[in-house]
Structure 1
Amino acid sequence: MYKILLSLFIGAMLNAELINGVGVVVKGEPITLYDIKEEMKISRLDAQSATDSLIRKKLEEAEIEERKISVTSSEVYDDIKKTAMTNKMSIDELYEAVRNSNGLTSTEFKAKTKEKLLSQKLYSAIAYSSIDTPSEDELKEYYELHKDEFLRPSAFDVTIYSSKNRNALEKKTTIPMFHSDEIKMDEQILEYGRISPELSRLLENTQLNTFTPVVSEPNGMFVSFYLKEVKVPSSVEYEGVKNQIMNLIMSQKREQVLSDHFARLRNSADIKIIREL
């Protein structure tokens, strides 16, 4: 009996070592096989892409430390508050939504937000000083080559369902035949230029003949939009999308600068591949 227990104990130890075994060492910092598997699961990447992503994160962390970049708790809170307002939620509702969708606790979400802000500061420090603003000719050329990408709806034909009872409204969105006197219904055509950017994005990301997620209003009501039709114009004017094109080109240039920067760092950094999945 003792030998059996000892054998099981040793087997468990070996299995734990395999799961948590170091796969890569970047500048003395380990990336375990478990880290790689988790990255594959969360980001839906293959083993090589997940490993590359984690190596870049380690390089970013080292660069952040070397440049003494920091983020305060106030900056984290302000970013979370802004995200909540953008989604028309209270901070507690945002935490609940993140927990339901990603399984992250509020503490983990704050940590992820801090990581995001640190990366943004790092990217700004690396990229913005190296990027030339695109010329008018460059902007117009991009517009001519990508006109279809800038077509935006002119209006949304929707049925708006509202209620003070969130549970009743949630049930309506999952069971359309459900009826409750607590839910009000209103047919409207919402013009694209007359609604908020947040509502526009919400409706653009909603499939036809389906409900949007339930969102809260400042007056204490909860609403969901049933999307019946999207009216799309046949063309879009250059001046109307010029700033958007500017942002797109700047984003592409910034990402290229960042990719080149971290590629150079990776080539010169002390990186050891210990084992692969």
Structure 2
Amino acid sequence: MPYRAIKHLFFTIIMLSATANAGLVNAISVIVNGEPITLYEIHKTSSLKSISLREALDRLIQDRLEVSQIKKLGVNADAFEVQSRLEAIAAQNNITISELKSFMLGKGMDWKSYESDIENSIKQEKLYRSIFANAILSIDVKDVRKYFDANPDEFKRANEFKLMRYNSANEESLKRILASPMSIVEGVTVTAETVQAATLDGRTRYFIDQTPIGEFTPFIKSDDGIKMYLVENKSKYESLSFEMVEAAIEAKLEDEKRQAAVDNYFEKLKSRADIVVLRRP
């Protein structure tokens, strides 16, 4: 066979292979009440959320069940509700809607898509409110006390912290530290310190309290830039009284009841749904 023909054949095989692979990636994996889920969505969700393909598929199935149920119940979000939500988001960031729009466009984001996302989130909130309305969410004080007595280690608070403080003028430098903690990044100052909890402001202490040993706190804005802490150790623990944590325990138990109500609701929907599996991820 002439070289040119072989070269053409080889190129044709490559193109057919690439087309086949592209078709497979974009292929429909599952159809839920007429709403398709592609293999691409499953792999993308798995990667973004750092979860297994099975967990990603379960999440996407619930997403499609939400969409289906919102349509079935006629849940709507009008233009006024969307505008009000946008105004609230802008106000929280001390900017106008025009500035919010300019910021998003400057980041290459599509404003119409963002408005659509806001509309969908409002519909979702309305659906979930209807789920919670039919669930018993009240918590008995006896259950709160029982949880407190059964989990004493959850209600101890450190009074001294061994920390590494990272200061920078911008978030990007700190993100580079998070990506590679052993690296030296220009513009980042690192200070080892042992801090007494009583000297910290409430917000900083909360972040450090909630951060496990060996991990970084969220970014904390300060007058001299942005900082974060690596929590190396916690010591001098004290036990918190029941009265100090009662409200927090009650909120935690209410959240668990809400999640149980949601799980139960969607399990029932799933059992009745028209789910067709075409390709397993």
CA deviation profile, 1:118-148 (whole Å, cap 9, x unmatched): 5444322211441241112121112111222
| Structure 1 partner of 2:277 | 273
1:99-114 to 2 correspondence within 5 Å? Answer: 114=118
Distance 1:7 1:183 in 2: 55
Instruction: Call closer, same or farther: CA 1:79–1:248 in 2, change over 3 Å.
Output: farther
CA deviation profile, 1:60-111 (whole Å, cap 9, x unmatched): 12223334243625425635875x79xxxxx9xx99xxxxxxxx97559957
Instruction: Call closer, same or farther: CA 1:14–1:222 in 2, change over 3 Å.
Output: closer
The structure 1 residue matched to 2:150, chosen from 142, 145, 151, is 145
What is the number of equivalent residue pairs in this alignment?
258
Q: Is the 8 A contact 2:137 2:258 kept in 1?
A: no
1:159-238 to 2 correspondence within 5 Å? Answer: 165-166=169-170, 189-191=195-197, 195-197=201-203, 199-202=205-208, 204-205=210-211, 207=213, 212=217, 215-217=220-222, 219=223, 221-225=225-229, 227=231, 229-238=233-242
Instruction: Call closer, same or farther: CA 1:63–1:77 in 2, change over 3 Å.
Output: farther
Letter of the structure 1 residue corresponding to residue 240 of structure 2: V
| Structure 1 partner of 2:46 | 40
Letter of the structure 2 residue corresponding to residue 243 of structure 1: A
TM-score, reference length from structure 2: 0.70
Structure 1 stretches of at least 4 aligned residues deviating more than 6 Å after TM superposition: 173-180, 182-188
Unaligned runs of 5+ in 1: 86-90, 96-103
Over the aligned positions, Cα root-mean-square deviation in angstroms equals 4.4
Cα shift at 1:17: 1.4
| Percent identity of equivalent pairs | 21
Say which SS state the counterpart of residue 272 (structure 1) adopts: strand
| Structure 2 partner of 1:101 | none
The structure 1 residue matched to 2:263, chosen from 249, 259, 262, is 259
TM-score, reference length from structure 1: 0.71
Say which SS state the counterpart of residue 29 (structure 2) adopts: strand
CA deviation profile, 1:144-181 (whole Å, cap 9, x unmatched): 11222232333545576767x449x859x76899999x
Cα shift at 1:274: 1.0
Distance 2:230 2:238 in 1: 24
Distance 1:73 1:244 in 2: 33
| Structure 2 partner of 1:13 | 19
| Structure 1 partner of 2:97 | none
Distance 1:152 1:105 in 2: 44
Instruction: Call closer, same or farther: CA 1:176–1:248 in 2, change over 3 Å.
Output: same
